[in-house]
Amino acid sequence: MSLTWRRAARCGTAWRLQAMSARFRAMWRIEHLLVCTLVLGALSCGGDGSTGPDPVASVTISVVGDTVLLPTQRTLLVAAPEDSHGRVLTGRTIEWSSSNPSVATIAQTGWVTAVGPGDVLLAAASEGKAATTHLLVRPVPVASVSITVQGDTVIDDGTTRRLTATALDSVGDTLVGRTFTWSSSDNAVATVTNYGLVRGVWTGSVRISATTESRSATVGLRVVPRPVASVTAPAGEFDALYPQDSLALRVTLQAANGDTLDPSHRPVTWNSSNRAVATVDTAGMVTGVGSGLVTISATREGHTGSANLAVLPAPTPNWAAATDWVTFQGNAERTGHVAATADPRAFRARWTRVVVPGAPLSPAVTSNGRVFVATETYFGTQVLVGLDAATGQSLWTQNFGPINGVHQPAVGNGRVYVTTSGQGDSFLYAFDAGTGSRAFRSPYGNQWERYYAPIVTPDAVYLAGGYYGGMYRFDAITGQSVWFFQTNQYDMWTPALRDTVVYTYTGSYSPKVTANSASSGVALYAIPDSSFNWNGWSMNTAPVLGATNDILATQSNRLVVFDLATRSVRWERNDQFKGMVSVAGSALYVVNGDRVEARSETDGTLLWDWEVPAGAGTPGGTLALTDNLLFVSTDSRTFGLDLQGRTAVWSHPAGGKLSISSQGILYIAQANGTLRAIALQ
């Protein structure tokens, strides 16, 4: 067979091969394909003398099958490389890849295998050019749902049962990763969480369903009541009330294993042991009728719990003899007592004012319908404010700037007196109580010490101070220094005054009580404290002048009483005593750990004590007294204790430093910068 070649130009750039034989011409003819063939050597392609195949300009992908698959299903992708004119190029290598092999994989042959639900991009690349196509793999559809109960289908009320739901395909195989919606046919019988946890509520039958992808299953359960094993009816925060006063008791029912049972489905029978003292209704609300002791009981299923209560004689309010709270602990003797009788049934919140947000406040002092308070910060906001006692509205503010400290104020003579501290910033100030205008500013000795409020009399101001400790008397009108007496160097204290004698109590190096002439400052005598326990350079107390010619104080967990007649320590106790002693009549009141104690002033005998309710915090160190009530505060609550009943009869949900005005207002100065006023009449 003979062959002849001829050159055929197509577009002036290619050679077409033709065979002399018709058989070979038909075999080799390819429409629209440019071929550069090397026959018997290199033949030039085109008229410019260049060689090599046309480059790939783009790639297209065709899907031979579905683009939406289920796991394990397959489909075929075909890739076609093309030149710049869109003509298909043959003999080129294709590289396949998957953007997410956990959804679908692809072989280099173009066969795609679905793996798991999701979206995936499949790419074909050739000579640096690529194309992608999108496939979706759907989950295997749920054909049915089954529910497994982990335990019995009978549930006690208040207990739980775990249910497990399983999704199945059409052949019964388990499908994973499905989310179920749970529901109860009757939430009054049983509830179910999104995770299939069933809780029995009360007796009855209920059906619990689990649904996914419009397929569901239901299981029936039955809830039965648990028997009551014990009943308690604690008095709670209060165990006393007054006639016509009400007190709510709450009953607690328990099962044999100690679980608390829901009382809303188990009504108890309430009973009063003496309806002439107190009655109780079906909800456990006790109402005082007459003075006496009474037992209130609650019974269910043969079990009874009870609370012993006291109905106290109703107090008759009397504020005629009350005086204002003008200094630390109310008065010059530091007793913390206001001569008044208050009725807790009339107590109500009057107003609340944020003085300086976040700044601890000093105890408030009061006079002539006004209340005064200062901040107690260290190189922070240092202000003294005057407020209207009836409304809490601001009357005036004195801002001392960022000095070391402004101390607790005292009031008298129509003025507010306050000391400041810091080297170069230590002054005794007097401001007009009505307007806040400054009457005088007098320097006094101080380094960085902070002190409690001074004593103000018509003609004098007595205060703690001195560069190395001491006590001053200033003229209350002119602000001139009258005398100075050297004491031990301590801060956080203030003197006490009775008649013509001013008293101090300081510690190391020579711990003692000193008695000085109020007029001249001359030392009259001293009472050594040989048991003094040094615990820093702050006294954190002040001498309190008692009713039996004595001085009472706490010091480093001690409670000590100094006899002014014998000039010796009369008695002392060691425990967890702290803060200030308050005194009225022949009894003293003091904080001891988490308790408030009443003791005999004469010999220290414990008369009674009261423990702060659990969760209410630890009592602070300041107390406030009326003739019939003792107020004690924690960080979060303030309680009123009836002195005759020896128990709490009132509380308020805020705690702080306490003071009482002659107008019958209890002030709570809080550590967060808030001052609260509670009307006591």
Mind spelling out the 3-state secondary structure of 615-631?
CCCCCCCCEEECCCEEE
- Considering only 6-15, 64-73, 99-108, 503-512, which range has the smallest mean pLDDT? 6-15
Q: Which residues contact 665 (CB under 8 A, 6 or more apart)?
A: 350, 366, 371, 389, 677, 678, 679, 680
For the chain, give the mean pLDDT.
Answer: 91
DSSP single-letter state for residue 344: G
Percent of the chain with pLDDT over 70: 93
Cα gap 233→249, rounded to integer Å: 7
Q: In what order do the strands lie in the sheet with 629-633?
A: 623-625, 629-633, 638-642, 647-652
| pLDDT for the residue numbered 53 | 87
Collapse the DSSP code of 134 into the 3-class scheme (helix H, G, I; strand E, B; otherwise coil) and give the result. strand
Q: Which residues pair with 277 in a beta bridge?
A: none
Instruction: Say how far apart CA 494 and CA 416 lie, in whole Å.
Output: 17
Is residue 28 within a helix (H) or strand (E), and if so which, with residue range? helix 22-28
Identify the weakest region by mean pLDDT among 51-65, 409-423, 650-664.
51-65
Q: What is the pLDDT of residues 443-493, one digit of tens each?
A: 999 999 999 999 999 999 999 999 999 999 999 999 999 999 999 999 999
pLDDT on residue 37: 31
**How far is residue 60's CA from residue 86's CA, in Å, rounded to a whole number?**
10
On the question of pLDDT at 287 being above 60, the answer is yes
Q: DSSP letters of 53-121?
A: PPPP-EEEEEEES-SEE-TT-EEEEEEEEE-TTS-B--S---EEEES-TTTEEE-TTSEEEE-SSEEEE
What is the mean pLDDT of the segment spanning 289-313?
Answer: 96
Of residues 185 and 535, more confidence is placed in 185
Neighbouring-strand partners of residue 555: 558
How many angstroms separate the CA atoms of 623 and 319, rounded? 19
pLDDT of 24 above 80: no
What's the confidence (pLDDT) of residue 511? 96
Side by side, the strands of the sheet bearing 111-114 are 58-64, 74-82, 111-114, 104-106
CB 277 within 8 A of CB 294: yes
pLDDT score of 235: 83
pLDDT tops 50 at residue 4: no
Nearest CA to 678 out of 648, 649, 655 is that of 655
CB 200 within 8 A of CB 163: no
Q: Tokens 């012993």 appear where?
A: 308
Lowest mean pLDDT among 24-33, 395-404, 656-665: 24-33
Rounded mean pLDDT of 307-336?
A: 97
In DSSP terms, which residues pair with 367 in a beta bridge?
370
Q: Using one digit for the tens of pLDDT, what is the confidence trace for 640-672?
A: 999 999 999 999 999 999 999 999 999 999 999
Q: Name the β-bridge partners of 443.
A: 427
Round to whole Å and give the CA distance between 372 and 364: 6
What was the pLDDT predicted at 34? Answer: 29
- Beta-strand relationship, 647-652 and 657-660: unpaired
Domains of the chain and any CATH numbers: 58-137 (2.60.40.1080), 144-224 (2.60.40.1080), 230-311 (2.60.40.1080), 344-679 (2.130.10.10)
Select from 420, 385, 337, 456 the least CA-distant residue to 669: 385
Residues 6+ apart with CB under 8 A from 412: 326, 367, 456, 457, 458, 476
Quick one: pLDDT band at residue 10, thresholds 50, 70, 90? very low
Q: What value does the CA radius of gyration of the chain take, rounded to a whole number of Å? A: 46
Q: Name residue 176's amino acid.
A: V
> What pLDDT, on a 0 to 100 scale, did the predictor assign at position 393?
97
- Residue 49 confidence (pLDDT): 45
Beta-bridged to residue 156, according to DSSP, are 224
**Predicted confidence (pLDDT) at residue 31 exceeds the cutoff of 80:** no
pLDDT (tens digit per residue) in 566-625: 999 999 999 999 999 999 988 999 999 999 999 999 999 999 999 999 889 999 878 999
557: left (phi over 0), alpha (psi -120 to 50) or beta: left
Percent with pLDDT over 90 in the chain? 88
| Structure confidence at residue 107 (pLDDT) | 96
Say which residue, 7 or 417, is predicted with more confidence: 417
Q: Which two tokens stand for residue 166?
A: 């399983």
Instruction: Report, as an integer, the average pLDDT of 354-383.
Output: 94
For residue 509, is the peptide bond before it cis, meaning its omega torsion is within 30 degrees of 0? yes
Alpha-carbon span 150 to 327, nearest angstrom: 69
- Asked if 165 and 198 count as a contact pair (C-beta separation under 8 A), the reply is no
Position 20 scores a pLDDT of: 31
Q: Which of these, 260, 309, 256, lies nearest to 284 by C-alpha position?
A: 309
User: How would you classify the pairing of strands 240-241 and 303-311?
Assistant: parallel
Whether the pLDDT of residue 9 is over 80: the answer is no
What order do you get walking across the sheet with 550-555 strand by strand? 544-545, 550-555, 557-563, 568-584, 587-592, 595-600, 606-611
